[in-house]
A = this chain, B = another copy of it.
Amino acid sequence: MPVGTVASVKGVSQDILEELGVQILLGNTYHLYLRPGVGQVRQLGGLHRFMAWPRAILTDSGGFQVFSLNELRKVTEEGVTFRSHLDGSAHFFSPESAMEAQIGLGADIMMAFDECTEFPADRERARQSMELTLGWAARSKKYFEAHKREVPWATDHIAPGVPTWAGERNLAGGGDDHKIAGQNLAELRSAGQVRTPAPTQTQALFGIVQGGMDPALRRESAERTVEIGFPGYAIGGLSVGEPRAVTREMVEATLPHLPADKPRYLMGVGTPEEIAEYANAGIDMMDCVLPTRAARHGLLFTSQGRLSIKQARFASDQGPLDSNCGCRVCRRYSRAYLRHLYAANEVLAQVLNTVHNLSFYLDTMRSVRHSIALGNRAQLLSGEQSGVKP
């Protein structure tokens, strides 16, 4: 899931994302809450409509950035007080307000409000943090269940004029002649600009497993989160500075305790090698700023390994960036040109580098899906031959 922080995967337009085969992207609730604001996005019909992205979106709860971007913060059982990194204004996030914000944004998948346990943390601290997250998970689910129909694209029949959120009229209420910012809902629908989900369709709220770097706590957190019950589960609190081997250990400690028939999402991971490894291990979804952020620093992933395009040795290299890559960048431009763009600080460097890195990541996942499918097919065939059900 490419990270589209403030409703944009930096430098890459939505049609290029579609062409790359991006199926779902991530929006950061913390950033969108600050700018342009949840109310604004809600009023404009939700995040999909706002950014003209008809495919899937997942929003995080805001919890991580509240911790990572803010030194001055105060955590209580109630929630977290913090200051905007933009202008220093004071804000407060709780499980309830984080749910309200994400419902207003209207992503397909939203995340429970959790505490990303800092690293390192001793067992006592990791347990305390885990307990807080579990309490917050229950509150997240409770608020969500009570308010999930308030999503901007819901088509439930709610009487017009009944305020549902911050005094706003439910956008879908009132039938087809109800106006959204001056435009008739029926017109918008026929223009394909309104998603018309079934009345029972709502967002999916995923729970998040914490527990620090303690396998027993991880297991407990997983079991107790499953007990609360969510349609999908994430493993949070990793890639926070721990050694890679520990990350792997925690994933292995957690996975067996998450239902195999529900999506399993490893947050904030990773390199191309890691995403392939974890996907093969049973992880279904991952997000990471690495492909996009590295691209902006000229660090490009290729089938022959990473390279730093700024290096002088590429200045005369007429070959493609990656001869095994079929993306638009590799089919058209030379390394010499890409190197020049980066050295000249051209915006096109960021655009092309990002397009390639995303293509590389998505290709990697396609390969994993393909080999999983081949493995399944082989298994199926062998089962049929021996008369044993797979």
* CB-CB under 8 A for A348 and B52, given A35-B340, A40-B316: no
- Residue among A10, A15, A332, A336 with most chain B CB within 10 A: A336
Inter-subunit contact B340/A181 (CB<8 Å): no
Report the nearest B residue to A50, measured CB to CB: B337
Inter-subunit contact B340/A6 (CB<8 Å): yes
Within 8 A of B (CB), among A301-337: 315-316, 318, 328, 332-334, 336-337
Inter-subunit contact A328/B40 (CB<8 Å): no
Residues of B near A36 (CB, < 8 A) are 315, 336, 340, 343-344
Residues of B near A12 (CB, < 8 A) are 348
Residues of B near A10 (CB, < 8 A) are 346-348
Q: CA of A237 to CA of B241 in the docked complex: distance in angstroms? A: 59
A13 in the interface (beta carbon within 8 A): yes
Residues of B near A50 (CB, < 8 A) are 334, 336-337, 340
Inter-subunit contact B340/A43 (CB<8 Å): no
Interface 1/0s, chain A 251-279, versus B by CB < 8 A? Answer: 00000000000000000000000000000
Q: CA of A45 to CA of B343 in the docked complex: distance in angstroms? A: 20
Q: Specify which of B14, B35, B340, B351 is in contact with A347 (CB 8 Å cutoff).
A: B351
Copies in the complex: 2
A8 in the interface (beta carbon within 8 A): yes
Interface 1/0s, chain A 167-184, versus B by CB < 8 A? Answer: 000000000000011110
Inter-subunit contact B52/A337 (CB<8 Å): yes
Inter-subunit contact A13/B352 (CB<8 Å): yes
Report the nearest B residue to A344, measured CB to CB: B6
Residues of B near A332 (CB, < 8 A) are 14-15, 52
Residues of B near A182 (CB, < 8 A) are 318
Report the nearest B residue to A339, measured CB to CB: B36
Residues of B near A316 (CB, < 8 A) are 40, 43-44, 181
Least Cβ–Cβ distance between A294 and chain B, in angstroms: 15
Residues of B near A52 (CB, < 8 A) are 332-334, 337
Inter-subunit contact A344/B35 (CB<8 Å): yes
Q: CA of A316 to CA of B337 in the docked complex: distance in angstroms? A: 40
Interface 1/0s, chain A 26-56, versus B by CB < 8 A? Answer: 0000000001100010011100001110000
A215 in the interface (beta carbon within 8 A): no
Q: CA of A45 to CA of B318 in the docked complex: distance in angstroms? A: 9
A208 in the interface (beta carbon within 8 A): no
Q: Specify which of B45, B318, B346 is in contact with A44 (CB 8 Å cutoff).
A: B318
A282 in the interface (beta carbon within 8 A): no
Inter-subunit contact A181/B15 (CB<8 Å): no
- Residue among A50, A318, A352 with most chain B CB within 10 A: A318
Inter-subunit contact B13/A334 (CB<8 Å): no
- Residue among A52, A328, A346, A348 with most chain B CB within 10 A: A348
**Interface residues in chain A, defined as those with a beta carbon under 8 Å from any beta carbon in chain B:** 6-8, 10-15, 35-36, 40, 43-45, 50-52, 180-183, 315-316, 318, 328, 332-334, 336-337, 340-341, 343-344, 346-348, 350-352
Contacts A10-B347, A50-B336 known; list 13 others, CB within 8 Å. Answer: A6-B346, A8-B344, A8-B346, A8-B347, A11-B348, A13-B328, A36-B336, A36-B344, A40-B336, A44-B316, A52-B337, A180-B318, A183-B318
Q: Which 9 A-B pairs have the closest CB atoms?
A: A11-B347, A8-B348, A36-B340, A6-B344, A52-B332, A8-B346, A181-B318, A52-B333, A10-B347
